[in-house]
């Protein structure tokens, strides 16, 4: 549980978004996140996010698959149950390549998708707070977190200056919780915020 206060700025177009994000960061605000309906390229860099290492994880999973497949099959054919198939070699490497390859791909893909879901906290019945319901449709949402250094008024003023079409303040749970989307979301007040701080 971490209930926080956010100032939410809404943009109709992605064009002013980059300059706005840059300016907001320059002025020392903490951007909680930017929500977009499609991947806006370069936004991760503008936000100063580091490159994801998901692909490295994928490589490691793949190599694990290669090792398991190859060592298992060679153990079966040479140690556990050596079969004489027409006098052919017990360790026929070329014939083991197809399964090794398939298993490598399988491990890499499954491992990566699971890691992706784990990192992003994606699972069935997971619910998260939505700052704007059209962020998955056509709106671009910049969310500034209110901290001791940046007050609600400051953030609102900055967003207004930077051309946000709509600005509001929300107190919300910033993590995920179990739940379905047909239920009303719990409303938090200033008191909850104070309680959460302690």
Q: Is 165 in the site for another protein (CB under 8 A)?
A: no
Alpha-carbon gap, residue 9 to 11, rounded angstroms? 7
Pick out residues in 119-158 that bind another protein (CB under 8 A).
Answer: 119-128, 130, 133-138, 141
- Closest CB to another protein among residues 97, 194: 97
Contact 108, 65 (CB under 8 A): yes
184 makes contact with another protein (CB under 8 A)? no
Structure token pair of residue 40? 């806006």
Smallest separation (angstroms) from another protein to the CB of 17: 8
**Residue 193 in contact with another protein, rule: CB under 8 A:** no
The dihedrals phi and psi of 121, each to the nearest 5 degrees, come to 60, 55
Q: Parallel, antiparallel, or unpaired: how do β-strands 166-173 and 140-145 relate? A: unpaired
The residue from 10, 73, 159, 162 that contacts another protein (CB under 8 A) is 73
Using CA atoms, how far residue 137 sits from 49, 88, 142, 195, in Å, is 24, 61, 15, 34
* Rounded Cα distance, 3 and 12, in Å: 27
- The footprint of another protein on residues 84-123 (CB under 8 A) is 85, 92, 95-96, 98-99, 101-103, 105-106, 108-110, 112-113, 116-117, 119-123
Give the binding range for another protein (CB under 8 A) out of 44-52, 150-158, 165-173, 185-193: 44-52
Decide if residue 43 touches another protein (CB under 8 A). yes
Q: How far is the CB of 47 from another protein (least distance, A)?
A: 6
Identify residues 13-32 at the interface with another protein (CB under 8 A). 14-15, 17-18
Helical (H) or strand (E) element with 17: helix 17-26
């Amino acid at each position: 549980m971490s209930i926080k206060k956010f100032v939410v700025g809404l943009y109709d177009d992605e064009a002013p978004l980059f300059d706005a994000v840059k300016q907001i960061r320059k002025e020392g605000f903490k951007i909680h996140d930017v929500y977009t309906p499609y991947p806006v390229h370069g936004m991760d860099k503008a936000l100063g996010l580091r490159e994801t290492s998901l692909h490295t994880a994928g490589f490691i999973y793949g190599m694990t698959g290669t090792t398991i497949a190859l060592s298992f099959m060679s153990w079966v054919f040479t140690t556990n149950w050596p079969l004489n198939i027409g006098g052919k070699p017990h360790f026929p490497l070329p014939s083991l390549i197809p399964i090794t390859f398939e298993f490598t791909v399988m491990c890499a893909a499954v491992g990566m998708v699971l890691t992706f879901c784990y990192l992003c906290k994606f699972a069935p019945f997971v619910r998260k707070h939505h700052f704007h319901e059209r962020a998955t449709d056509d709106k671009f949402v910049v969310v500034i977190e209110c901290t001791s250094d940046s007050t609600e008024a400051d953030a609102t003023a900055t967003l207004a200056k930077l051309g946000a079409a709509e600005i509001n303040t929300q107190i919300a749970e910033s993590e995920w919780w179990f739940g379905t989307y047909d239920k009303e979301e719990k409303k938090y007040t200033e008191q909850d915020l104070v309680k959460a701080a302690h």
